[in-house]
Chain A
Amino acid sequence: MFARLLTAAALMAVAPALFADALTGDVQKQATNWTAISMFVVFIVFTMGITKWAAKRNTSTSDYYTAGGSITGFQNGLAIAGDFMSAASFLGISALVFTSGYDGLIYSIGFLVGWPIILFLMAERLRNLGKFTFSDVASYRLGQTQIRILSACGSLIVVAFYLIAQMVGAGKLIQLLFGLDYLVAVVLVGVLMVMYVMFGGMLATTWVQIIKAVLLLSGATFMAVMVMYNVGFDFSRLFSDAVALHPNHQAIMSPGGLVSDPISAISLGLALMFGTAGLPHILMRFFTVADAKEARKSVFYATGFIGYFYILTFIIGFGAILLVSTNPSFKDATGAIVGGTNMVAIHLASAVGGNLFLGFISAVAFATILAVVSGLALAGASAVAHDLYACVIKKGKAKEEDEMKVTKRTTLALGVLAILLGVAFENQNIAFMVGLAFSVAASCNFPVLFLSMYWKNLTTRGALIGGAMGLGTALLLTILSPTVWVDVLHFEKAIFPYKYPALFAMIASFAGLWFFSVTDKSKAAAEERARFFPQFIRSQTGLGSSGAVAH
């Protein structure tokens, strides 16, 4: 049982914005929680007001996809942090700390360290070259049609897997927190997501994310302070009390068995670090600010908020050992935590802040899901409407109002699809989807994007074949890995022994990108190499980049 918990926690940790195994198992529906529901209704009413305000400002595709570049670095930093501080991070990582202590910190660090790398190597070039989506950057000097199709596929695969996991996680979590039916919860999330994105575009999505980030940070801060208050603001007392109470004692203060062999460790590290740099809904945020200066500031603030948040979750996890595991009212007849270990942060909220604060934290957890799925839906809609419709089908000659129509229809379709998938996958083991989304992002989106900005000799052929090789390897190895081959398909033994394919898929991708580029002697390839020079000047100086639209 303990081993299973560890595996569950490990899988969950691969996805910052996701719910994983522990939340995908059977959950008992709880009694309807009216405090939480009324606080959530307040959140909905308020954010719908923002959506209405944003809708009036959405007159062009630029407003719709990037809020007209009007978001400041600080706001964008909060929104990026919001994308990362999902219900899964909050509940999952505090649960991981609760069950195995130090391992929770290892995972949170993995999510954070990608950000400095994104800042140093990508943020300003992205902002200088791109307009709406990261495909704009990847296809800047390469074959528009081919590269946009490739990156749109990469985006949509990441978005789809993410959405499935989010929807299923949302359904289960809301059953637990609010006592609503799974179906009601999934439909509610789908409908609200479509409302925010369809009417409010990026502006409303960003503000929903910011509000939620502030609420979550305040709530988590309050909890951490209350925990520290209980131990007299003394960290060594927090740790020694936890060690004394925890069944594993001193073992919770050192790395456990989550990352056992070096290959898995490195592969996971790569997936976390570079997957973040290939997530379409994250990359899209770099285009919502006015210029490279603001883009850099966004990452600085985001890193600060995310780091602070992970420190809070670490304290909350230890606090739960002290205050939740010792309190019989949070346990069922068998001595297990009511609702599963993922609920420890919620129980801690009730322990330190009473019923009202419990309602607040539950409402924030629901708001978190909404904010994250909205960002995903917007990224998916822009991949279809901007990349596939406007740039591939209409060859860049689409009328703006037609593109907007396609975006809105795609959003609606994504909402329906998300609800259907949420229902279809209710009782499936979906934990692998999280890892898969990250692996695809790290081994298809990231290498193509990175080399298109850094390597002159990259050609369309190389990008296409290399990107496809990364995508294919990530998909194939995930299917053959223990997470799908054994856990989902119930075969005896996995063909690919490691849980994380990123190391191998990234090697395949970069090898393909290199080989099929250097051997490309076509005339088009020579032209693409020649276009690197003006792209380089623009990426370095921002010359001619799309600036903020004045409102």
Chain B
Amino acid sequence: MNNETVIQQINADPRFQDLVAKRGRFAWLLATVMLTAYFAFILVIAFDPAVLGTPLSKGSVTTWGIPAGLGLIFLSFVLTGIYVKRANGEFDRITQDILNEAQK
């Protein structure tokens, strides 16, 4: 089987175009969420650090910075989990179907 024809065949497959668009949107969406959250955090530190120094409740020693920081760590983990679940399941199944058909 000629590699060139396999490539053309994959490209002509509407499921491939769909997969690329869907996976691309999903990846960029999650990346945007992560970047926005992180740079929002950094910019708050740069411009108004006192915000993160506000106590959680009156008289409490724990500040908003703690849940914000731990939240970012947790967010990183959760977002990678979400991506891996969908990419290793749904997206990889579609990829395998496309490859199997093109290489038949």
Give residues in A with beta carbon < 8 Å to B.
102, 105-106, 108-109, 112-113, 115-117, 119-121, 124, 235-236, 239-240, 243, 250-251, 253-256, 259-262, 264-266, 268-269, 273, 292-293, 296-297, 299-300, 303-304, 307, 310-311, 533-534, 537, 540-544
Contact = CB atoms under 8 A, between A and B. Distances in A.
| Nearest 3 pairs of A and B residues by beta carbon | A254-B53, A265-B46, A255-B49
Contact of B80 (A119, A253, A273): A119
B76 A300 contact: no
Nearest to B72: A109
Contacts of B69: 102, 105-106, 109
A250 to B, nearest CB: 7
Nearest to B10: A537
A296 B84 contact: yes
B59 to A, nearest CB: 10
B24 to A, nearest CB: 9
Nearest to B37: A113
B2 to A, nearest CB: 12
B80 A254 contact: no
A115 B99 contact: no
Majority DSSP secondary structure for residues of B touching A: helix
Nearest to B34: A116
Contacts of B4: 534
Interface of B: 3-4, 6-7, 10-11, 16, 19-20, 23, 27-28, 30-31, 34-35, 38-39, 41-43, 45-47, 49-50, 52-53, 60-63, 65-66, 69-70, 72-74, 76-77, 79-81, 83-84, 87-88, 92, 95, 98-99, 102
B65 A102 contact: yes
B63 A259 contact: no
Contacts of A108: 73
A116 B6 contact: no
Contacts of A256: 49
B11 A119 contact: no
B52 A112 contact: no
B63 A541 contact: no
Contact of A269 (B6, B11, B38): B38
A70 B19 CA distance: 28
A80 B30 CA distance: 22
B88 to A, nearest CB: 5
A174 B52 CA distance: 38
A124 B87 contact: yes
A473 B72 CA distance: 31
A259 B7 contact: no
Given A106-B45, A239-B61, A112 B76 contact: yes
Contact of A296 (B42, B43, B63, B88): B88
Contact of A239 (B46, B62, B72): B62
Contacts of A106: 45, 69
Contacts, number: 154
Contacts of B70: 105, 311
B80 A299 contact: yes
Contact of B63 (A116, A254, A268): A254
Given A109-B73, A119-B80, A254-B50, 12 more contacts: A106-B45, A106-B69, A109-B72, A120-B31, A239-B62, A253-B53, A254-B52, A254-B63, A255-B65, A262-B43, A269-B39, A304-B80
Given A307-B74, A533-B7, A119 B84 contact: yes
Interface centre among A105, A121, A299, A537 (most CB of B within 10 A): A537
Contacts of A300: 80-81, 84
20 contacts: A113-B34, A113-B72, A116-B80, A116-B83, A117-B34, A236-B60, A250-B53, A253-B62, A254-B49, A254-B65, A261-B46, A262-B43, A265-B43, A265-B45, A266-B46, A296-B83, A300-B80, A303-B76, A534-B4, A540-B95
A112 B62 CA distance: 23
A381 to B, nearest CB: 30
A266 B34 contact: no
B76 A240 contact: no
B99 A543 contact: yes
Contacts of A236: 60-62
Given A235-B62, A240-B61, A253-B61, A293 B92 contact: yes
Nearest to A253: B63
Contact of A259 (B3, B23, B45, B87): B45
A116 B20 CA distance: 19
A245 to B, nearest CB: 12
Which of A108, A235, A256, A296 has the largest count of B CB atoms less than 10 A from its CB?
A296
A266 B30 contact: no
Given A115-B80, A120-B28, A266 B39 contact: yes
Nearest to B60: A236
Contacts of B7: 533-534, 537, 543
A256 B19 CA distance: 46
A230 to B, nearest CB: 17
A534 B3 CA distance: 9
Instruction: Give the one of A112, A254, A268, A300 with max B CB within 10 A.
Output: A254
A297 B81 CA distance: 9
Contacts of B98: 541
B11, B39, B45: residue with the most chain A Cβ atoms closer than 10 Å: B45
Contacts of A112: 72-73, 76
* Among A297, A303, A542: residue with most chain B CB under 10 A: A303
A540 to B, nearest CB: 6
A254 B62 CA distance: 9
A261 B66 CA distance: 22
A442 to B, nearest CB: 14
B95 A296 contact: no
